Structure 1
Amino acid sequence: MANEKIDNISLIDTYKRIYPYIKPYLFTAAIGVLLTVPVGALDAVVAYFLKPFMDDVLVNKEENFTSYVPFIIIGFTLVQGIFIYLSAIVNGYVGNKVTLDLRRDLYNKLIYMDSAYFKENNSGNIIYRYYNDADLASSGLVNNLKLGLTRLFSSVSLIGVLLYNSWQLSIIAVGVLVVLFLPLRIVRKTIKKIMNKTYTESAAMLSLYNETSSGENVIKCYNLQKHMQDNFENGASQLFSLGMRLIRNTNWLSPTMHLVAACGVAIVIAFGGKLIINHTITSGEFVSFIASLIMLYTPLKSIGNNFIELQKSSVALSRIYEIFNYTPVEQAEKALNKPELKGISESIEFRNVSFSYNASRKILKNISLRVNKSQTVAFVGNSGGGKSTICSLIPRLYEWQEGDILIDGRSIRDYSISSLRENISYVFQDNFLFDDTIRNNITMGKSGATDEDIALAIKNACLEEFIAGLPEGLDTRIGERGTLLSGGQKQRIAIARAFIKNAPIVILDEATSALDNKSEKVVQEALDNLMKDRTVFVIAHRLTTIQNADQIVVINEGSIVEKGTHDELISHGGVYSSLYNTRLQNTEKDKAGTRQ
């Protein structure tokens, strides 16, 4: 979905797409449209009054005209200014409301997107498509609709003045007006093509800024400033090139339209002079006609800039509807009203499960495994073997292609995803904490948690001493991703979150591998509390922590090569035994080195 081609829709289709978002504010939008009528129509007042001024004052030398007409013009202009102000407020309200609704729907879509989607799209692409595109689409379309309607009513009123003064010259003027719009069709496809590439590069730049912020310690410690500067220069240069390409391919519109408009005025002057000499029109009618014509052509000569903005909005809206037209698994299944999972009574079973992220390589191959209720199964093996992937299939973060996963003999696909996940607590190696308080990060695992629930979770996660030492206690903010905490503290808050959820199934994905020995001891105690009387899946880095597991499953290259208890596998003398002895020796060497 990240690389889908942007469809080439017409302007009418673009507004059809945005209409459902304008519809709730149709009455307000209609007022905004009505306000553009006098804004545009009053443009013709000044041009109209030039006729009597020319004929009555300059030709017939009448004085009465000059005593009241200037005040009429000022009055009309004042009224027009008031309508311009009111129109800006009303249309601004509609535009901002449309933006808000688009962003709301996009965010609601984002939070249900499949896990694979986040692997395919970097953070910059997501920010740009789900935040910036909404503003580009709505503001561009609504603002240009207001501008277009204002110019439409202005054009209609000015054309009325043209026809009133001379229908012969009006034919020439309107004919030139048609020619003015022809260049727009030529650049339309070019604009969309360039803008699509510009959005892609802009998203990459946003991702670079995000990496710079998140990886600042790595950048400093590995002296990667030059590397990051080079990446920035490459991306910025690409954006610069695309910007210049857009200017080269579109900015000929303005001088072309100026030339066409000048030709129109020149033809009108040449032909109009003959009409005056022939007494077909008066001098006043001619001056009024020329003034109306210039007022009509002037905004149209700069329409190229508005057209570019309109095409940007059209592309942004197309990208938004790509997202809306994609249905994630979770949203698709909501409509099916599947039954809810009410805990586990007997077992969780993998039956010949195979999985791949793409068609090129299988990550898991014919995995078969049964874990009875309240048992603990530990997965071990070399990195990249598929241990984490097996565990991620249980809450259906990814969808397997072959075989099945069952709870109590029934496929987990038969249950609603939300109820399935409600029965699972997941503690990751690098747990994500929100830029919020400790209290809120813990209670996210259970809405409506009581003080007793929180206190019990804190006790079982071995957090009492740490929280008691904080001036603001549970209400201490921990920074983005928990940056103000140590690794062990973050893990224990994640464990407290899992505790308060009180789910019957627990998944521990190398929850202690990144910790030092002291932190690991405290965290392991918290994990032991969490594992009591639950069905547990453990991915273990340190094999000494899983000796008491009911089953140990050795995974290699996506396949199960051994399984059994610790004693059974050690006595067997196979892969696990070799792996255990090797890591045990390394641990002894580390201890000896520490003593020295």
Structure 2
Amino acid sequence: MSNFKKIVPFIYPYKKYAFLNIFFNVLYALFSTLSFMALIPMIQVLFDQNKHKVVKPIYKGIWEIKQYAEDYLSYFITTTTDTFGVGYTLSIMVAVIISIFLLKNLCDYFAMFFITFLRNGVLRDMRNAMYKKTLELPLAFYSEKRKGDVISRIAGDVNEVQNSFLAILELIVKEPLTIVFTIVMMFAISLKLTLFVFIFIPISGYIISLIGKQLKKQSTKAQQEQGTFLSTIEETVGGLKVVKGYNAENYFNKVFQGSTERFFNLSNTIGNRQNLASPASEFMGITVIAVLLWYGGQMVLIEKTLNGAAFIAYMGLAYNILTPAKAISKASYGVKRGNAAAERVLEILDQDNEITTKVDAIEKTTFEDNITIQNINFKYENENVLKDFSLQIKKGQTVALVGQSGSGKSTIANLLTRFYDVNEGTIAIDGVNIKDMDLQSLRGLMGLVTQDSILFNDTIKANISLGKLDATDEEVIEALKIANAYEFVKDLPLGIMTNIGDSGNKLSGGQKQRLSIARAVLKNPPIMILDEATSALDTESEKFVQVALENMMQNRTSIVIAHRLSTIQKADIIVVMQKGKIVEQGTHDELISHNGTYNKLVTMQSFES
């Protein structure tokens, strides 16, 4: 129930639908019970078992209402039959029964009508909340979680919560009230017979509960397995070139089939347990009814303490308990499955996000003086990546970070943009600690071009306009020209309105990278971060991209993380890093003359080329 309480805030906006559902469910339960009670006078008329009363009864108070109702019904049947004939009386009885059943089914429809808005509204809002949370969570979260598992939670688990968990509304209102109203009427007909029935109900309830004990645990495993095979799909589709290039189709096929086999077995176990619920509850119910027939038959035929019409209605009421009892047992299994799904959904929604904007954060829209990195230490998990690192970058400077893989170059970019937070030390822009700045305004000061050209399945214009959503076509074209990309875009069938496919796979590597640069140009930030922007390109593409980068870096503060040293020779300061520390810094010529680490790196790259 603790999980359900956490889901309740999603229900609040739709509480009017919940109240309307409850209202019509109460009416449904009432009419469901009355539909069987209405059979008593009809059977009495059919078999002429009605007590003949010609004097209108007098109401003597609430404690004698049962006797008053019986006497008034007998009076009505007697006078109506004497005046209009038995056929007319029977017609009235049939019309009453049809009306009650019509009202019962209308109430059922309206109850389901209103719950539909609630269920679909909760589904939409939970999906929106999950997606919003996945966007807000820091990158560190996704280094531990499979992307496919997160997708599974947004798609599958949220749906399971909607289907199963919200069945609690039905579980606590419609079915229990139907049972309560039915039992009240059963007591009204025969106290002795109803008490006899109640000896058997707890026994059958206990047997049914045994079936569902392991359901939540099995459901959790099944949902985790669904996350696993969705991850496999996402990874293999994303890396299809490698899969095919290494003839690894069979390997990934086996991995996927192993996961779906486990899901198959778990689903069978869960399904069979659920399927057992309905026949088990029905069998228990029929057993109770069989005992009723034996004991009630004795009361009618031998003891003469119950009349036949009342006993037939009583049997109908007893059977009326079966349907809600089956629904409750089925819904309770659904709730167990929904509970397992809710845990996985809430794990994401309750996830702490340490990288957020403070309450009294500073809105900073301009860059005036410098970026100061002072005595920072950082580790991803247990491994130290940066140790006592300090650097000052003045406005208008181009600072290049070079070094071997794993030296901490890209980590600097991640920390500047607050994708991660430093463990110790400070990073400040114009003397303001970036942790004290509004997160959106901090990232608004920066343009980012990464090694992997991250593009989306949309038009060129939509991809480039991410940093400036209201950009005109002319502004987009101007950015493309600066990025040296308009020469190929203008030849495309629809120009800037051409869809570039999933991850931009309709374009070459160089073309994709130039679009990434155009995106940064259009945003027009004062600080540009280039994270190995040319390392994945061939020589010809690199020349085009290099020209684009030089165009973009004019009159800007640029932090260039470079693998190819030929691209950063014009930098104002080159910072040479090794194992998270600065070992050298200066201009290209100064560092060459020192004949140290930088000179060795240049020599090695010259030799390789």
TM-score when normalising by structure 2 = 0.88
* Equivalence for 2:188: 164
SS of 1:507's partner is strand
* Equivalence for 2:362: 339
Deviation for aligned residue 1:428 = 0.4
Select 1:190's aligned residue among 204, 214, 217: 214
Contact 2:176 2:324 in 1 (8 A): no
Q: What pairs up with 1:231-380 in 2 under 5 angstroms?
A: 231-247=255-271, 253-254=277-278, 256-276=280-300, 277-301=302-326, 303-331=328-356, 333-334=357-358, 336-358=359-381, 360-380=382-402
Indicate the larger mover: 81-90 or 203-212: 81-90
> Structure 1 189/431 Cα, relative in aligned 2: closer, same or farther at 3 Å?
farther
User: 1:92-134 CA deviation, whole Å, 9 max, x = no partner?
Assistant: 1121111112222222222111111121211111112233332
Indicate the larger mover: 406-415 or 516-525: 406-415
* Equivalence for 1:431: 453
Aligned residue pair count = 573
Deviation for aligned residue 1:293 = 0.7
Counterpart Cα distance in 1 of 2:460 and 2:503:
12
Contact 1:380 1:553 in 2 (8 A): yes
Deviation for aligned residue 1:73 = 2.8
Indicate the larger mover: 207-216 or 493-502: 207-216
The amino acid that maps onto 1:137 is: V
Structure 2 unaligned blocks of 5 or more: 51-80
Select 2:98's aligned residue among 42, 55, 74: 74
Deviation for aligned residue 1:254 = 4.5
* Equivalence for 1:25: 14
* Equivalence for 1:461: 483
Counterpart Cα distance in 1 of 2:477 and 2:47:
92
Structure 1 unaligned blocks of 5 or more: 1-9, 588-596
Indicate the larger mover: 140-149 or 539-548: 140-149
Q: What pairs up with 1:354-503 in 2 under 5 angstroms?
A: 354-358=377-381, 360-503=382-525
Deviation for aligned residue 1:34 = 1.7
Counterpart Cα distance in 1 of 2:111 and 2:200:
30
Counterpart Cα distance in 1 of 2:177 and 2:590:
87
Q: What pairs up with 1:82-161 in 2 under 5 angstroms?
A: 82-146=106-170, 149-161=173-185
The amino acid that maps onto 1:496 is: A
Contact 1:250 1:304 in 2 (8 A): no
The amino acid that maps onto 1:322 is: E
Indicate the larger mover: 176-185 or 453-462: 176-185
* Equivalence for 2:254: 230
User: 1:334-381 CA deviation, whole Å, 9 max, x = no partner?
Assistant: 4x12112233333222222111111x2112222122222211121222
Contact 2:193 2:296 in 1 (8 A): yes
> Structure 1 56/105 Cα, relative in aligned 2: closer, same or farther at 3 Å?
same
User: 1:304-363 CA deviation, whole Å, 9 max, x = no partner?
Assistant: 3322211222232233333333332344x34x12112233333222222111111x2112
> Structure 1 340/189 Cα, relative in aligned 2: closer, same or farther at 3 Å?
farther
Contact 1:42 1:154 in 2 (8 A): no
Deviation for aligned residue 1:475 = 1.0
Deviation for aligned residue 1:165 = 1.6
Deviation for aligned residue 1:482 = 0.9
Deviation for aligned residue 1:457 = 1.2
* Equivalence for 1:545: 567
Contact 2:178 2:324 in 1 (8 A): no
Counterpart Cα distance in 2 of 1:379 and 1:430:
18
Deviation for aligned residue 1:198 = 1.7
Indicate the larger mover: 89-98 or 309-318: 309-318
The amino acid that maps onto 1:350 is: I
For the pair shown, the structure with the greater C-alpha radius of gyration is 2
Counterpart Cα distance in 1 of 2:238 and 2:299:
74
* Equivalence for 1:205: 229
* Equivalence for 1:572: 594
User: 1:268-316 CA deviation, whole Å, 9 max, x = no partner?
Assistant: 2333233222121112222221221122124414543322211222232
SS of 1:138's partner is helix
Contact 1:354 1:367 in 2 (8 A): yes
The amino acid that maps onto 2:348 is: I
SS of 2:467's partner is coil
Counterpart Cα distance in 1 of 2:309 and 2:509:
84
Contact 2:365 2:444 in 1 (8 A): no
SS of 1:243's partner is helix
1:215 aligns to 2:239 (yes or no): yes
User: 1:128-173 CA deviation, whole Å, 9 max, x = no partner?
Assistant: 2233332222332334523653222322332233122211111233
Counterpart Cα distance in 2 of 1:129 and 1:220:
29
SS of 2:391's partner is strand
Deviation for aligned residue 1:392 = 0.9
* Equivalence for 2:61: none
User: 1:22-49 CA deviation, whole Å, 9 max, x = no partner?
Assistant: 2222222222222223333332244324
Q: What pairs up with 1:502-517 in 2 under 5 angstroms?
A: 502-517=524-539
Contact 2:18 2:114 in 1 (8 A): yes
Counterpart Cα distance in 2 of 1:102 and 1:184:
32
Counterpart Cα distance in 2 of 1:422 and 1:340:
10
Counterpart Cα distance in 1 of 2:102 and 2:42:
21
Contact 2:355 2:421 in 1 (8 A): no
Counterpart Cα distance in 1 of 2:411 and 2:119:
44
Indicate the larger mover: 313-322 or 197-206: 313-322
Contact 1:91 1:142 in 2 (8 A): no
* Equivalence for 2:59: none
Contact 1:41 1:156 in 2 (8 A): no
Indicate the larger mover: 459-468 or 503-512: 459-468
TM-score when normalising by structure 1 = 0.90
Contact 2:465 2:519 in 1 (8 A): yes
Contact 1:99 1:139 in 2 (8 A): no
Counterpart Cα distance in 2 of 1:181 and 1:533:
78
Contact 1:173 1:293 in 2 (8 A): no
Counterpart Cα distance in 1 of 2:337 and 2:462:
40
Indicate the larger mover: 270-279 or 469-478: 270-279
The amino acid that maps onto 2:341 is: A
Contact 2:167 2:335 in 1 (8 A): no
Counterpart Cα distance in 2 of 1:56 and 1:110:
68
Counterpart Cα distance in 1 of 2:331 and 2:252:
36
Contact 1:95 1:143 in 2 (8 A): no
Select 1:525's aligned residue among 539, 547, 560: 547
